[in-house]
Amino acid sequence: MRPSKDFVQVAMPGFNRAGDIFQYLRDGVPRTRIELAELTGFARSTIFSRIQTLADAGLVMNVGDARSSGGRPATRFAFNPSGRVLLGIEVGAERTTVALTDLIGQIIARVAFDHPPTAGPTEVFDRARDKAEDLLESTGDRSKDLIGVGIGLPGPVERSAGRPVRLPTLPGWDGFDVAGYVSRAFPVPVLVDNDINLMALGEQRTFWPDTKNLLFIRVASGVGMGIISSGALQRGADGSAGDLGHVAVGRGSDMLCDCGNYGCLEALAGAPAVARSLTGSAEADVANLIVLGQRGDVRASTALRQAGRDIGSVLAGCVNMLNPSVVVVSGPIVEAGDSVLAGIREVVYKRSLPLATARLTIAKSQAMHDVGVIGAASMVAEHVLSPLAIENMLAAARLDDGAPVAVSA
């Protein structure tokens, strides 16, 4: 029987260092065991045995021999990103995406399914579990290789408990134990976070790995921002950092927002608001707005550019405050041509301080639709590939093999 993850909480003295040695290989550079001994300062005998353990666990692979000036060529080892797999799940108001990824967040297979906005968490996660099991099976029975699940939810999340807090788009989910429920189906670490935080993480880790300060803006029905500062995701005290949608914009003092206030950014620049401003009707046709914008329709482009200026007026303050080097913009209205981005650039470069914009790049999302699941997988990868998590994974594997181990309490 597989031990519960609570059973092996503390790394064992005999195992430690495998997790530490693994960290040196995560950059993907192949190294010989001698080079690793020099790099880490550990005894060669330690390196030899731990590399073997990591290779047996599928985390490290032999990548051929190093050139040698004489004597026996030395075998080189490198991180094996496809040796184990992760699941990234992005829950939306009416659509959920499940992706199977490798350990660096590259998608192996993905599937999405629609559900009514009234669907409860057990219904959505039971269907996600079935889809995930299909993905694991259809890609070569990889269930045994699964080491973590990351989940993004459309709203604030109490991260330590893995529970949503008052999701505006999913009523009835408040306080549901998402991590606990999903780990019953998949007994591996399950981490839950706000979807825009995960999109920021996915975009930065995948496309801007050398950028330590990045803001990710998503403009859909709401407007949200994920903040990466000094290389780390910033969630704020209660997980609601970056909620730009209800920041007041001077121009909209007569625009009533769903939250009850007037002049909120999302009441002016959210995708449904822009679509309504075009037709003048209460019905929002965002799909039509995208088509018109892509065609270069003058009225649509003008409305989109104004939405960009409104977003820019709030974003300029964020740029002054946080000094990012990259701002990434995503969401349906960004797909409607370049007018939104042009409006954002116009205001941010005019209103932010010169020092904050001297080397600022404002770009469209490169990951677009997959960024949420890539980010969910990236979040859980960081957790399960940490030194302690690696030690625990190796210890659990030994327990499964029936090998005697001493577990410290």
Positions in the binding site for Zn ion (CB under 5 A)? 246, 257, 259, 261, 264
Compute the least distance from the CB of residue 305 to Zn ion, in Å. Answer: 22
Compute the least distance from the CB of residue 263 to Zn ion, in Å. Answer: 8
Quick one: 259 or 407, whose CB is closer to Zn ion?
A: 259
Quick one: 29 or 256, whose CB is closer to Zn ion?
A: 256
Quick one: 165 or 390, whose CB is closer to Zn ion?
A: 165
Q: For the chain, give the secondary structure using H, E and C.
A: CCCCCCCCCCCCCCCCCHHHHHHHHCCCCCEEHHHHHHHHCCCHHHHHHHHHHHHHCCCEEEEEECCCCCCCCCEEEEECCCCCEEEEEEECCCEEEEEEECCCCCEEEEEEEECCCCCCHHHHHHHHHHHHHHHHHHCCCCHHHEEEEEEEECCCEECCCCEECCCCCCCCCCCCCHHHHHHHHCCCCEEEEEHHHHHHHHHHHHHCCCCCCEEEEEECCCEEEEEEECCEEECCCCCCCCCCCCCECHHHCCCECCCCCECEHHHHHCHHHHHHHHHCCCCCCHHHHHHHHHHCCHHHHHHHHHHHHHHHHHHHHHHHHHCCCEEEEECHHHHCCCHHHHHHHHHHHHHCCHHHHCCCEEEECCCHHHHHHHHHHHHHHHHHCCHHHHHHHHHHHHHHCCCCCCCCC
Quick one: 8 or 264, whose CB is closer to Zn ion?
A: 264
Q: Characterize 37-73 residue by residue with b for buried, 16 or more Cβ atoms within 10 angstroms of its Cβ, and e for exposed.
A: beebebeeebbeebbebbeebbbbbeeeeeeeeeeee
Compute the least distance from the CB of residue 261 to Zn ion, in Å. Answer: 5
Quick one: 267 or 344, whose CB is closer to Zn ion?
A: 267
Bridge partner list, 100: 87, 109
Compute the least distance from the CB of residue 266 to Zn ion, in Å. Answer: 6
C-alpha to C-alpha distance for 52 and 17, rounded to whole angstroms: 12
Compute the least distance from the CB of residue 147 to Zn ion, in Å. Answer: 40
Compute the least distance from the CB of residue 247 to Zn ion, in Å. Answer: 9
Quick one: 10 or 259, whose CB is closer to Zn ion?
A: 259
Quick one: 226 or 263, whose CB is closer to Zn ion?
A: 263
Compute the least distance from the CB of residue 310 to Zn ion, in Å. Answer: 13
Compute the least distance from the CB of residue 78 to Zn ion, in Å. Answer: 50
Quick one: 333 or 394, whose CB is closer to Zn ion?
A: 333
Quick one: 246 or 383, whose CB is closer to Zn ion?
A: 246
Compute the least distance from the CB of residue 256 to Zn ion, in Å. Answer: 9
